[in-house]
Amino acid sequence: MDSKERNWLFLLVGVFLVFNIITLSPLIPWQKWLLWSSPEPDQRFFLEYADYQIRMPPEGMEVKVGEYVEFVAESKDVTYGFGVFRQDGSMVFQMQVPPGRESNILWKFAEPGLYDVRSTEYSGPRHSEMYYPDAISVTQ
Ligand SMILES: [Cu+2]
């Protein structure tokens, strides 16, 4: 390796380090939330997936705007998805629900309303039945 190549290598390593230090630092507002805090959820909902059905809390899922809610999902057979949708059909968020492990997501709803739940991972012939309108109610 000649000195020109070495200089380029140092420059690349330097750019890599500076880029990562900046983007992972708490100076970036969303990283403060994503990496450097672990808020305790105000509520936790458990979802059980099996045989193309999602068993949700029988008392329903009621959330307040601005509170942290954790969704914990587990599949007993195949890989499903947990997708939350607005009334206009646009997606709020989704996560995969593979079998054999707990999947969880922490969320803070910004707007009140009723939200639908769908499986967002093709899981088999009855996948399209996995639609639960107005499953989550978010109030002010
Ligand atoms: Cu599915």
Single-letter amino acid code for the residue at 66 = G
Spatial strand order of the sheet with 80-85 comes to 61-64, 131-139, 113-118, 80-85, 91-97
Single-letter amino acid code for the residue at 139 = T
Write out pLDDT tens, residues 74-118. Answer: 999 999 999 999 999 999 999 999 999 999 999 999 999 999 999
Query: CA distances (Å), 95 to each of 5, 59, 64, 72, in order?
Result: 43, 23, 21, 10
Between the CA of 55 and the centroid of ligand 1 the distance, in Å, is: 14
Task: Please state, as a whole number, how many other Cβ atoms lie within 10 Å of the Cβ of residue 109.
Answer: 20
pTM of the model: 0.80
Write out pLDDT tens, residues 23-35. Answer: 888 888 877 777 7
Between the CA of 42 and the centroid of ligand 1 the distance, in Å, is: 28
